[in-house]
Amino acid sequence: MQHDPSRTSYYVGDEFYQSLVDSYADWQTDDSEITDPALRDTCRMLLDKEARLLDQNRLDDWLTLYVPECLYWVPATPHGGDPRTEIAVCFDDRRRIEDRIYRLQNEYAWSQRPLSRTARLITNVSAFSTKDPDTLMVRSTFLTNEFQAGDKRSYTGWYGHKLGFQNGGWKILVKQVNLIDCDQNLRNLSIIL
């Protein structure tokens, strides 16, 4: 039976969690680092595009970079944790990302009224191969500056993107956002990182 992941959440189950935990364990090894500049550049372009669309608040366009059964994950523990037994800052499947976007576009989402302006820097991009040739892991370092209602703040850390090659291009399967202060009390984290 086919399910629309925008409406129902059948894919977030034991198997999904296990493969998530597995794919985020020990992936940044020296011998799996991709040295082909063209492939790395492809990854970098995808990350740059993602940052641009988020800075431009084009959230619906941003989501087209993701596969239907995707995940946006901001762990609350520095080691990433096991999301089956630990609360995360954000753990959004497709439907919940769409919820998040819906809310951000709702004029009564007070935490985002006025809307934040953001400027994201992404650097130190390294790509890593996996056992599956159609799956890559990408590590990058980010600094997201946010301005809202007279106040400037920033978030920093590193991203772990899991990419899949689908229909002739690379799409985002999972975005893991590792804030350096993910286990601290954070003020109005209502933007998408």
Kindly state the smallest distance separating residue 136's Cβ from other proteins, in Å. Answer: 24
Dihedral through CA 84, CA 10, CA 19, CA 100, nearest 10? -70
Work out which of 18, 64, 87, 165 binds other proteins, going by CB under 8 A: 87
Q: Where does residue 176 fall: left (phi above 0), alpha (psi -120 to 50 degrees), or beta otherwise?
A: beta
| CB contact at 8 A, 137 and 121 | no
Nearer to other proteins, 7 or 152 (CB): 7
The reply to whether 152 sits near other proteins by the rule CB under 8 A is: no
Work out which of 108, 131, 167, 168 binds other proteins, going by CB under 8 A: 108
Nearer to other proteins, 34 or 88 (CB): 88
* Pairing verdict, β 66-75 and 88-93: antiparallel
| CB contact at 8 A, 190 and 109 | yes
Which positions touch other proteins (CB under 8 A)? 3, 7-14, 16-17, 76-77, 81, 83-93, 95-96, 99-100, 102-103, 106, 108-111, 113, 183-190
